[in-house]
């Protein structure tokens, strides 16, 4: 999405950029979604501000110097995120070993945030920019704030564990998936995806405006991410809120960052991928419930063992997944 305040868009102008609108038109919902622009705010309602403050983790999307999106996770005791006013979040995070955020955080950097509470299936999004950055905190200026429906979220409750004094975890880097990475992906019922929109200079009010980063949740039955080979993954895309933030970004800029979590071991897998969209055809028809498919080509992979200082309850599968197929 684009921010009306930075692009010069006024009343009657859509907050959705051309990629999102193109997908909305393809899905036959363009006019309906134009009337929903008011749900995308440039400030946070009080319930969102309170929600972020009670979380022990957040999912973060960012861009590196090569304009590669990455999906990350930050943790802290509830209260590590605060909101001094409706237009700002202050974050005092614990950055995890080898997390791409170690390299991507910078002043004025575009950031996408997903606050998600899996056991209540509640989630809210906030996209903005780093206004202040210090060694142990960042202040984010809100550009877009909006809620998401609970679809496809597996209900599992996180609890924070003390990781002070723990040894540096082993880090495995590769340009394709090894056996341990395949095992993690093959068992996954959840992953997170970061994408970017780099701006449309033809409509922006000035150079570099109208761009941003988004990070989103994807859920499915265990094994819903198909491993085609050591460099290729295929994922069904189910019906959602029709914003098409992720798909619209990929239409314009087909690079993404994926984050997989092993909820038992605490292993994290970060992937940098290029993406292609499969809109229709026999592969889409073969997966019950899929609207389209996403095919990811792995460029970089980072697996960090026992990195996440959270423990999780057993998962309760989303009821929205019952009618969906499997590979």
> pTM for the complete prediction?
0.93
Each residue of 298-319: pLDDT tens digit?
999 999 999 999 999 999 999 9
CATH superfamily, domain at 4-319: Electron Transport, Fmn-binding Protein; Chain A (2.30.110.10)
* 189-219 exposure pattern, b = at least 16 Cβ within 10 A, e = fewer: bbbbbbbbbbbbeeebeeeebbbbbbbbbbb
- With bands split at pLDDT 50, 70 and 90, how would you rate the model's confidence at 10? very low
Instruction: Give domain limits for the chain.
Output: 4-319
Q: Are 298 and 233 in contact (CB under 8 A)?
A: yes
Each residue of 174-222: pLDDT tens digit?
999 999 999 999 999 999 999 999 986 544 443 344 689 999 999 999 9
The pLDDT value given to residue 200: 67
Each residue of 51-101: pLDDT tens digit?
999 999 999 999 999 999 999 999 999 999 999 999 999 999 999 999 999
Each residue of 104-138: pLDDT tens digit?
999 999 999 999 999 999 999 999 999 999 989 99
Maximum C-alpha span of the chain: 55
Q: Are 60 and 74 in contact (CB under 8 A)?
A: yes
């Amino acid at each position: 999405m684009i921010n009306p305040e930075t692009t010069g868009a006024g009343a009657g102008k859509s907050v959705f950029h051309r990629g999102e609108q193109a997908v909305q038109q393809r899905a036959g919902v363009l006019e309906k979604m134009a009337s929903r622009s008011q749900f995308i705010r440039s400030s946070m309602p009080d319930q969102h501000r309170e929600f972020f403050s009670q979380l022990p983790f957040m999912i973060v999307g960012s861009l590196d110097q090569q304009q590669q999106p990455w999906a990350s996770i930050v943790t802290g005791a509830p209260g590590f995120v605060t909101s001094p006013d409706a237009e700002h979040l202050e974050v005092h995070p614990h950055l995890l070993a080898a997390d791409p955020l170690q390299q991507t955080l910078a002043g004025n950097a575009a950031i996408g945030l997903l606050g998600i509470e899996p056991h209540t299936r509640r989630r809210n999004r906030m996209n903005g920019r780093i206004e202040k950055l210090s060694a142990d905190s960042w202040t984010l200026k809100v550009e877009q704030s909006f809620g998401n429906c609970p679809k496809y979220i597996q209900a599992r409750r996180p609890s924070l564990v003390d990781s002070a004094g723990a040894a540096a975890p082993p880090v495995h880097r590769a340009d394709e998936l090894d056996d341990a990475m395949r095992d993690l992906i093959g068992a996954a019922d959840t992953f997170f995806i970061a994408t970017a929109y780099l701006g449309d200079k033809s409509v922006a009010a000035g150079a570099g405006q109208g761009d941003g980063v988004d990070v989103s949740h994807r859920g499915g039955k265990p094994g819903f991410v198909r491993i085609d080979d050591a460099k290729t993954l295929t994922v069904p895309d189910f019906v959602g809120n029709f914003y098409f933030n992720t798909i619209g970004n990929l239409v314009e800029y087909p690079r993404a960052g994926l984050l997989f979590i092993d909820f038992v071991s605490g292993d994290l897998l970060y992937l940098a991928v290029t993406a292609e969209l499969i809109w229709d055809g026999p592969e889409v028809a073969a997966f019950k419930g899929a609207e389209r498919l996403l095919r990811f080509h792995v460029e970089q992979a980072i697996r960090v063992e026992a990195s996440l200082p959270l423990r999780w309850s057993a998962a309760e599968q989303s009821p929205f997944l019952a009618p969906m197929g499997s590979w």
